[in-house]
Structure 1
């Protein structure tokens, strides 16, 4: 009977482990193996090149631009999708907005349910330099000097892509924070009211510490997502103009399926994996969530 109790949990774990092995770990090892070869998508043979792909990586100018864009994406996303979303969730859970809160939650969450392809088409119209909503609004309020060819200039393209992504993603993270805030014991806020604490003090002294686990999870999701971002820059700019809005994932895709260099694309995939894993491990180490203080 005791032996059966020990085996039963293992049997429950086996299906998930098998799926991870087939769809995650084996492809990861295969990709690492492929990075030492030169081959195309449909080639029957692979040419062993050793570390040549990694040498090319060190001299690839597109990689440096893509990494900088990923870092920009990460910093802005953490500030808005975690910082601003937490503040927004706190405001929506305030008693002042108790009647409007259900409606506002739906409003903020609607962009999450829209397909990224549809959103890209929508923002393509918003950023249109001749009849786009953004430039038209700037002209309407007398700020026509700030009007730009948002997706056509190297200096603004990546920020236009990032802005579109934030518009879609903030609502989802806000809902996660709302759920976490709703689990905070009301007695804590009542005690703070008795002590005369203001809303800002309650936010930093009660809300932030109580949702620490949620902040960690959302930050981790945001950082890893920023390093893996593909859909937004690919659909909206395809990494252009030039490669000013290129990200690592878009560069990997273009290398593998447009330039037909799957060996080097595998090398780029290894770099993306290592950077994402290192950032996740560093954050786990620094946050120390789940441990007693």
Structure 2
């Protein structure tokens, strides 16, 4: 049976896809009595197939690891609107900000395939991805995750400490660009990097990762939201479009943009 959180994630995918939103608009307009019944039925079936494909893909993907599942469930249980009203968080967060089932598994797959030992996350939120990566790493592996919001750092640290793999996670609180400078000053490098932070700084994050040698030769950067609400291909010159093009034009890397979720880019640094 599909869980409530899974249904929300399926709805999230449809919300992010501009083609699905157009179909929903047509479905509503098809209420007009002059519209042939088969037209409305066909549009409805198309929307149903979008959701069914998403649900099937999740069911055929191996399940979340225990710690990652725990963080997902706790995130959906958080009273985000109340926390914002009380001033504990600086934005109106939602559980739908989670990267979600599928992306955590892709990162675990990359870590195991590359035999990675060190992973970096830029944009932690509540720690779902950081935990998923930590659970895929060997015992001597380590995850560094960057997050600006103090309250999110506080709750994530508490949740991490409830798990065996949480000890592998180092949280850096503050502006992520500053954290990257500090990590470079410490001489740190990473085999796998996950980017899911503020979109206007995507290109700056990418350049720092390469210019400061934070992404190891042969390492993989996975960037979320590379098809952000459809803007990159409907509004040329938008922020994420410029990021995608900057990556494509950089001779130090190879890029694949996958039409999964809200767009997932796999970016490999050339070398080993």
TM-score by length of 2: 0.24
TM-score by length of 1: 0.23
Larger Rg: 1
Q: Which has the higher helix share?
A: 1
Q: Which has the higher strand share?
A: 2
